Amino acid sequence: MLILPVYFDNNATTPVDPRVLAAMMPYFTEAFGNAASRHHSFGWAAAEAVSFAREQVAALIGADPSEIIFTSGATESDNLAIKGVFDMYAGKGNHIITCATEHKAVLDTCAHLQKQGAEVTYLPVNSRGLIDPAALDAAIRPATVLIAIMYANNETGTIMPVREIGAIAKKHGVPFFSDATQAVGKIPVDVLADGVDLLAFSAHKMYGPKGVGALYVRRRNPRIRLTPQMDGGGHERGMRSGTLNVPGIAGLGRAAAICQTEMEAESRRLSTLRDKLETGLLALGRVYVNGNPDYRLPHVTNLSFGRTDGQLLLSGFNKNIAVSSGSACTSALPEPSYVLKAMGLDDELAYASFRFSLGRFTTEEQVDYCLQSVKETVIKLRSSDLFV
């Protein structure tokens, strides 16, 4: 039985998997101790839960558990990575390289550092949302202290050439940071094979709770050092002080373990459903896929609907279908997506673009309903006097 509304905005956030919730519950009421309390069993139980979760999270991305720093989410991880490297390596230089289509958590952090003397190069992207690795190579200077390029774009699902970027960074001896919030748990991520030195992600994008995330910080070959951005009790190897969110961390660990086990089969299932939705909507004509259709996340499609008005189209189906017209952090703004604009879309198409992001609990029945509802709305709009 179809229950409305249906949810197609899993890139914004995902529901907590019941298995994750079950793993979290004991640490709210029974094993409620502080993981830093070393003198009694309540603290030991909490510390054990954190240690186990650290192993689960590390295993998902091919890291050592000691390289995982728990944070409040990807935004904090982004800030800690970028500001922490900039401060630590200030004696070497002040140049950061990033990309025009990064998440605002990266772009705004770089803008903040520019006010403190940083020089930031914003690499452009092509019509598929990809940077040119040759342009990255040419942009590196002796004063470059960080390359910050996301793993997969939150709006289009485009996957960057991460291993090529990692190889370029290694050749020049520059740390490579990647915001992998949309990639971790959805596609295989291996920090060693990818050549990533710092990697950020968040639990709530992978069926875990909101308010908890992680930052991978490489410990050897090379060892990456960070200046803490929050002072206190020296938690998390001194990089992130503050009482650990034990229930959230336990949830992140369980979410990571589930993703590692189920990722391959789930990717196949979701790409099949995504392709069905996309093919059906493309059949309308004057509908365009934004991003790189050959190399993207399996659950995402971003589509522009020509000969329609974006606001009228959204209002025609959004009561029963949850989709996004941009990233969750910027979609409330009355302007077209900066990601799509950077890819060369004009205002009309950018305004009439929508991201459909499927998830673990998306069913074929929901896809059929979404397809039918969106098609009916587009056809109705196009038949009106406004778009004749």
pTM above 0.85, yes or no: yes
Beta strand ranges found along 67-157 (DSSP E): 68-71, 95-99, 119-123, 144-148
Q: Find the helix or strand (DSSP H, E) in which 385 lies.
A: none
For 126, residues 6+ apart whose C-beta sits below 8 A from its C-beta are 132, 343
Per the residue annotation, which of 99, 110, 259, 329 is the catalytic one? Answer: 329
What gap in Å lies between CA 25 and CA 176, rounded to an integer? 36
Angle among Cα 266, 360, 15 to the nearest 5 degrees reads: 150
The proportion of the chain whose per-residue pLDDT surpasses 70, expressed as a percent, equals: 97
Whether residue 387 has pLDDT greater than 80 = no
| CATH topology match: 6-14+263-387 vs 18-257 | no
- Calpha distance 134→124 (Å, rounded): 12
3-state secondary structure of 94: coil
pLDDT at position 326, please?
Answer: 55
CATH topology of domain 18-257: Aspartate Aminotransferase; domain 2 (3.40.640)
Confidence of residue 329 (pLDDT cuts 50, 70, 90): very low
Is 99 among the residues known to form the active site?
Answer: no
pLDDT tens, residue by residue, 242-270: 999 999 999 999 999 999 999 999 999 99
- 6-14+263-387: CATH, from 3.40.50.10860, 3.40.50.12280, 3.90.1150.10, 3.30.930.10: 3.90.1150.10
User: Which structure tokens are listed for 130?
Assistant: 């990809």
pLDDT in tens, 171-229: 999 999 999 999 999 999 999 999 999 999 999 999 999 999 999 999 999 999 999 99
Averaged pLDDT score across all residues of the chain? 95
Q: In this predicted model, what pLDDT tens digit does every residue of 23-40 receive, in sequence order?
A: 999 999 999 999 999 999
35-85 pLDDT per residue, tens: 999 999 999 999 999 999 999 999 999 999 999 999 999 999 999 999 999
Indicate the domain borders of the chain.
6-14+263-387, 18-257
The pLDDT of 365-378, averaged and rounded, is: 96
Which of the two residues, 332 and 26, has the higher pLDDT score? 26
Q: How far apart are CA 286 and CA 303, in angstroms?
A: 10
Per-residue confidence (pLDDT) for residue 318, from 0 to 100: 80
